[in-house]
Amino acid sequence: MAIHAAAHYADHAQDDHHNHKPHGFFNRWVFSTNHKDIGTLYLIFAFIMACVGAAFSGVIRTELMKPGLQFVQPYFFNQMTTMHALVMIFGAIMPAFVGLANWMIPLQIGAPDMALPRMNNWSFWILPFAFTILLSTLFMPGGAPAGGWTMYPPLAIQGGNSVAFLVFSVHLMGISSIMGAINIIATILNMRAPGMDLLKMPIFVWSWLITAFLLIAVMPVLAGAVTMLLTDKYFGTSFFNAAGGGDPVMFQHIFWFFGHPEVYIMILPAFGIVSEIIPTFSRKPLFGYQAMVFAIASIAFLSFIVWGHHMFTVGMPLGGELYFMYATMLIAVPTGVKVFNWVSTMWGGSMSFETPMLWAISFVILFTIGGFSGLMLALVPADFQYQDTYFVVAHFHYVLVTGALFAIIGAIYYWWPKWTGRMYNETWAKVHFWWSMVFVNVLFFPQHFLGLAGMPRRIPDYNVAFADWNLVSTIGAYGMFLTPIMMFLILRRSLKSGAPATMHVWEGTHGLEWTVPSPAPFHTFETPPVIHDEDLAHGDITH
Amino acid sequence: MAQAQGAYYVPHGTRWPFLGSIGLSSTVVGAALWINETTPYGKYLMAFGIACLLSMMFGWFRTVIGESLAGIYSKQVDTSFRMGMMWFIFSEVMFFAAFFGALFYARNMSVPWIGGEGDGALTNFFLWKGYTPAWPTNGPGAIGGSFESMPAWGVPLLNTLILLSSGVTITIAHHALRAGRRTQLLIWLGATVILGALFLKFQAGEYIEAYTKMNLTLGSGVYGSTFFMLTGFHGMHVTLGAIMLSVIWLRCLKGHFDKDHHFAFEAVAWYWHFVDVVWLGLFMFVYVL
């Protein structure tokens, strides 16, 4: 495979100016319009934010190691839970996925760059400013936001000066996400090389097309919701004030109309990544490609009509509770289609277990655990018990850490040789994987037990009955804190002295990104490649 | 579906977005300092931020217009721009949806519940005894004091007619542009700008009337909140649209655009129609019903 595209590449691009990187730090990085450089910036930013968010969780887990108040005051503890969530969601997971989209979508569809390269620069460069504003609240009188990342009024607007900074930083993150999503949609719909039909696109591209639609649909709703918070606090409106005819619960409805699609924004690209990695190392095409596309689309559609399951205990009419319960359980169907398709892809394949594959397989298993605990939470009578307990914390960390984050790390190992032209040390990468695999479960699995036993979330102190599993969980957290350091050292060593990567990198790869040299030149596909169906993972496969 | 044909224009390096980030963050930090009343300098920082944003827009658009006039943009680049504008307008629709959602929720859920309907019987009995739900309302606490609500059949009806007419005039201008009749283009586009300005003048008059004579303010309970947030954000969008129309008018005057290449004109026209449609929703749900 790939002969045609590679030959084409040699003819047209290599003699061009594909290595004309701009000179100087500012020209290269700050004023960049190059999708690869901007993708790199996103990934570096996400890594830094993940470390900041991990530091916040370090405060949380250290305080929770033993019952009683040891290290921090409750108010500061609440700031840590709030900031941990905001930083991890908007600063780490989402930018990491956008970074991967920036790097891979043009390479996978044979485009020279993103459709709107200048706007691409702006999407990224808003983020460091937005997070500087958000993190600066830690040093303000009254401290950082402490009402939870969901910002429920009236609690959230009883904070100090930080409320305005929180609201405005969320606005900036929203602007960044919307511009990024518009760019991704325009790129996918307008920039595909001839022959790259929609139903021949790599599944990662499909997952991002649908995710981008979700982003454009819901980030403005979040912007509206936080704007109402701002005017309620500073300009005397009564949206969330019952005395004026409003309702605090109204905020929860608007917020979760954003919030539920948001959780799929953080998992659909992970589905795409895993659907790329598993076929490669199973040496089989993805089982049920079209079913996978329709499953992603169904999940996205359902995400708009299930938000009430976050609010079962606020006092909804019974009909509302039943509707949201059944609609939520419906999501298990397309999700199940995906899980079974991944397993079927591996079935009968000649599998090998390089590091990206290990992350992908662990994703399938551990994400499914998170999915099942989600089903438990979908049941109204059960949710009345689980609401606001550590069971919820365990559930969404299985989905977001062993789901989204594991997929991101798998993607980085998978495409790293293509980005840098160098292999990483397979042994140490496997140590990184197994270390994470063990400690992430030590960290989060006991939280299921704590929650079922009744331990509430978002508290700095607890009943001594919960002491043992909290200690175990904290030990797991300390183990996990070593993993970003491991990853950093592995990748740095790879950059310095890794073995050169081949064009295909892995044995079972298909798709346009593997038809350009490793490392991928600064400019690729400056004129569209001629695609032959056999080059593509799904070019000549009709299932 | 459009697919790549020939080379796509990829600009190399741009300074405008970074200036825009400085502008955006200065604006919001300035605004936050201002409304928190922590320092007297907040508004100056905000003014600096807005100045940065304006220079970014000026510079960025100038670059793009220059490239467009130089004929660098292919059909495919044009399609990217069109998609960008369409999805941007969709995001704006969703922004307004949040506030319309708040209006519907307040009218159909929270106000009746506070008044004791459905599951709200005890809420009403223990917390808001004696409150009978109605619309318009400023709630059982009578937040902001008694007020008059804004009638639909005076200025708002006139404004509806003005905006609908402006949708017609811009369409005539578009046809004139496609037929190459430049004078008519300028006249009808100019008429659209004037109608937009007229709308804003009446809207401003209505606000002054509300604040000075009707005691209807942003603080008049949930009616005042939804009324001013919806019409206020809409008015800001009309202002922005009118400014964009004026820029397009100046560009037409300078001889920009021909019958095949006038994406900027169409983008602004779409935006204007979007503002128009939002107004119809406002007129229906805020004023009439």
Q: In chain B, which residues have their Cβ closer than 8 Å to the Cβ of A133?
A: 25, 28-29
Q: Closest CB to B14: pick one of A31, A189, A317.
A: A31
* pLDDT above 90 (res A107): yes
The answer to whether the Cβ–Cβ distance between B98 and A185 falls below 8 Å is no
Instruction: From chain A, pick out residues whose CB is under 8 angstroms from the CB of B128.
Output: 242
Task: Report the gap between the CA of A536 and the closest CA in chain B (Å).
Answer: 17
ipTM, 2 decimals?
A: 0.95
In contact, B17 and A122? CB cutoff 8 Å: yes
Give A178 to chain B, closest Cα distance, Å. Answer: 8
CA A282 → CA A196, A337, A409, B175, distances in Å? 24, 19, 19, 58
pLDDT digits (tens, 9 = 90+) for A120-160: 999 999 999 999 999 999 999 889 999 999 999 999 999 88
CA gap B225, B135 in Å, rounded = 13
pLDDT value at position A533? 86
Binned at pLDDT 50, 70 and 90, residue A76 comes out as: very high
Q: For residue A384, with 0-12 CB atoms within 10 Å meaning exposed, 13-18 middle and 19 or more buried, which class applies?
A: exposed
Please name the residues in contact with A290: beta carbons below 8 A apart, sequence gap of 6 or more: A199, A543
Percent of chain A past pLDDT 90, that is, above it, reads: 91
pTM of the model: 0.95
A170 touching B (Cβ < 8 Å): no
Q: Longest C-alpha distance within chain A, in Å?
A: 72
DSSP bridge partners of A456 = A389
Nearest to A88 by CA among A51, A130, A46, A53: A53
Among B3, B28, B229, the residue with its CB nearest the CB of A231 is B229
pLDDT band for position B16 (cuts 50, 70, 90): very high
Residue A378 has phi, psi (to 5 degrees) of -70, -20
Task: State the Cα–Cα distance between residues A516 and A8, nearest whole angstrom.
Answer: 10
Q: What is the percent of chain B with per-residue pLDDT over 90, rounded to a whole number?
A: 91
Which residues of chain A neighbour B72 with C-beta distances below 8 Å? none
pLDDT one-digit tens code per residue, B172-203: 999 999 999 999 999 999 999 999 999 999 99
Query: Between residues 432 and 451 of chain A, which touch chain B (CB distance below 8 Å)?
Result: none
Q: Which residue has the higher pLDDT, A496 or A23?
A: A496
Mean residue pLDDT of chain A comes to 94
> Does A13 have pLDDT greater than 50?
no
Question: How many angstroms separate the CA atoms of A86 and A159, rounded?
Answer: 16
What is the per-residue pLDDT across A204-241, written as a single tens digit (0 to 9) for each?
Answer: 999 999 999 999 999 999 999 999 999 999 999 999 99
Structure tokens at A214: 């979700």
> Over 50: is that where the pLDDT of A5 sits?
no
Nearest CA among A432, A543, A530 for reference residue A196: A530
- Residue A100's Cβ-side half-sphere holds a number of Cα atoms within 13 Å equal to 30
pLDDT beyond 80 at B250: yes
CB-based contact A164 B221, cutoff 8 Å? no
pLDDT of residue A542: 63
- Residue in chain B nearest A179 by alpha carbon: B88
CB < 8 Å from B in window 66-125 of A: 110-113, 115-119, 121-122, 125
Taking the CA of residue B128 as centre, how many other CA atoms within 13 Å lie in the half-sphere pointing to its CB?
A: 25
Query: Residues A315-337: what's their mean pLDDT?
Result: 95
Asked whether the predicted pLDDT for residue B31 surpasses 90, the reply is yes
Q: For the segment A462-488, what is each residue's pLDDT rounded down to a tens digit?
A: 999 999 999 999 999 999 999 999 999
Between chain A and chain B, the number of residue pairs with CB atoms below 8 A apart is 255
A198, A215, A239, A318, best to mutate vs chain B, most B CBs in 10 Å: A239
Nearest CA in chain A to B233: A224
Exposure string of A494-524, with b = 16+ CB inside 10 Å and e = fewer, is beeebeebebbbbebbbbbbbbbbbbbbebb
A 471-490 residues with CB below 8 A of B? none
CB under 8 Å to A7, separation ≥6 — which residues? none
B127/A172 CB distance under 8 A: no
Cβ-Cβ contacts under 8 Å, B21 against chain A: 122, 125-126, 128-129
Both tokens assigned to A104: 């891979």
Q: Which residues of B touch A129 (CB under 8 A)?
A: 21-22, 24-25
pLDDT exceeds cutoff 90 at A324: yes
Helix locations, A66-202, DSSP H? 74-86, 94-109, 117-136, 162-190
Cα A160 to Cα A137, A234, B1, distances in angstroms: 10, 11, 52
Chain A closest-CA separation from residue B97 CA (Å):
7
Contacts of A125 in chain B (CB under 8 A): 17-18, 21
Choose the weakest-confidence range: A11-20, A518-527, B66-75: A11-20
Query: Is the model's pLDDT at A18 over the cut of 80?
Result: no
